Structure 1
Amino acid sequence: MGKRWWWVAVGIVAVGAWAASRDGDTPKAVDAPSQAPKASVTPQRTASTTPPAKKDWWVDYDPAQFAPQVRASARRAGISPTLLMAILYNESYKPHDPDLERSWAQIDSDPAFGIANMHRAAFDDVKRGRKFAVRKWEELPDHPELAIEAAAWHLHDLARQLPAKRSSRYSKDELLALGYNTGAGNMRKFARGVKAGSQAQSYLARLHDNWEKSAQAVN
């Protein structure tokens, strides 16, 4: 009996050792990290600071964009800024892309250049003795400020050619606009009471249509 219990005891010890070895083979649970891993942050794109390309002035052209130049030139020439602006509106019927104007000059025997549609003879005459005397008519398509200055002084010179006594048919501004459109000789006829023809009347009608927005632009 004693030896039997000894084997029983040895068996119990062996089973215990085997059980202990099985426990040692069991993987231990991994402790959770103290902090959750940080999510990767994708840097935000900053808004582009590149300014949009500047649009050429003759694209969607509106004479009102040159209101400061009109006011300044009208003041120097002693004429109405509203009249000058209204004439620019009257003359805005055609595209003023400089390249297009120069191309048109290749097929037109007497082209007009610039936003005021001035002919070479008128420009060469009006620039005499003025600060822009060294400028050339060919510059008008590329330099709207020069075209405005020349138009202002052309109106100034026309005003000096008006007779002292005039018919009441047309106002002074209307006569100057007619002079700009048809020439000084016709302007003096209208000033004496001659009725303007259909083309000149159409120019006056457009002037009246453009008058209010011209006044708003320069005031």
Structure 2
Amino acid sequence: MAEPRRSRWGVGLAVAVLIVAGWAASRGGHGTGSAAPHEPGKSTAPSATSTPSERPTADGQDPARYAPQVIKYAKQADIDPRLLMAILYNESYKPHDPAWERAWQRIKPDAAFGVANMHKAAFDETKQGRDFADRDWRQLPDDPSLAVEAAAWYLHDLARQLPAEHGRYTEDELLALGYNTGPGNMLAFARGAKPGVAAQSYLHQLHTNWTSAAQALRNAG
């Protein structure tokens, strides 16, 4: 006899939790564990996200659907819309279902929320003085527009910290690394520090997603 639907769903969720738990254990919390360490006295401000595994975007959650919001908020925050779009592709490695995200957050309280995978500390810091200052981090899973807006302004804030000389990386590459590992590491990379394996993986995924990001923006235009 076939298993009841509810039972199959429960097994599927348990498997998903185990998979993500294994990923989290191997990748670390904020993505900073594998990057260059913070130098003494440097900022330990939070990164927005964690480092993804190299899995393709899951069916039904292609970030291209958020291209209009990306265009809108990237313009407001004065950042490259392709960078923001590519970051959403980078962050599409896990399910962005509100119920799933909240279930996982009960297991891992410091998990990231929303389609841009933003941690609470990064969201609370970014929203200060902004149009969404009265919004709560817990609303991110239900409001993709808010998630995109917050990510855009986090990138804006990172860009204001960049030095004039970027070393071997472009501005967009450094901002992506900053989004993943935090501003302290971003500045270290700008000065010549070598990213760790996880940060290199994030940058590789960004390059892989450039074409998809550009196509999504063209289609939205």
Give TM-score scaled by structure 2 length.
0.71
Q: Distance between the aligned counterparts of 2:148 and 2:109, measured in 1?
A: 23
Partner amino acid for 1:88? L
User: Could you give the per-residue CA deviations for residues 8-45 of structure 1, whole angstroms, max 9, x where no partner exists?
Assistant: xxxxxxxxxxxxxxxxxxxxxxxxxxxxxxxxxxxxxx
Determine the structure 2 residue equivalent to 1:105: 105
Q: Distance between the aligned counterparts of 1:59 and 1:104, measured in 2?
A: 20
Is 1:124 the counterpart of 2:110 in the alignment?
no
Partner amino acid for 1:60? G
Alignment of structure 1 residues 1-219 onto 2, 5 Å = 60-167=60-167, 169-219=168-218
Partner amino acid for 2:119? H
Shift of the alpha carbon at 1:163? 1.3
User: Could you give the per-residue CA deviations for residues 124-183 of structure 1, whole angstroms, max 9, x where no partner exists?
Assistant: 00000000000000000000000000000000000001112331x111000000000000
Partner SS, residue 107 of structure 2? coil
Q: Distance between the aligned counterparts of 1:159 and 1:144, measured in 2?
A: 23
RMSD: 1.1
Q: Distance between the aligned counterparts of 2:102 and 2:59, measured in 1?
A: 17
Partner amino acid for 1:133? A
Gaps in structure 2 of 5+ consecutive residues:
1-57
Q: Distance between the aligned counterparts of 1:83 and 1:142, measured in 2?
A: 23
Query: How many residues end up aligned between the 2 structures?
Result: 161
Gaps in structure 1 of 5+ consecutive residues:
1-57
Among all aligned residue pairs of Structure 1 and Structure 2, give the percentage whose two residues are the same amino acid.
Answer: 65
Query: Greater Rg, structure 1 or structure 2?
Result: 1
Q: Distance between the aligned counterparts of 1:131 and 1:188, measured in 2?
A: 28
Partner amino acid for 2:134? V
Partner SS, residue 161 of structure 1? coil
Q: Distance between the aligned counterparts of 1:195 and 1:171, measured in 2?
A: 14
Q: Distance between the aligned counterparts of 2:139 and 2:109, measured in 1?
A: 18
Partner SS, residue 164 of structure 1? coil
Give TM-score scaled by structure 1 length.
0.72
Determine the structure 2 residue equivalent to 1:14: none
Q: Which has the higher contact order (CA 8 A, sep 6+)?
A: 2
Q: Distance between the aligned counterparts of 1:59 and 1:115, measured in 2?
A: 14
Partner amino acid for 2:141? P
Q: Distance between the aligned counterparts of 2:192 and 2:201, measured in 1?
A: 18
Shift of the alpha carbon at 1:59? 6.9
Q: Distance between the aligned counterparts of 1:197 and 1:204, measured in 2?
A: 11
Q: Distance between the aligned counterparts of 1:195 and 1:142, measured in 2?
A: 37
Q: Distance between the aligned counterparts of 1:127 and 1:59, measured in 2?
A: 31
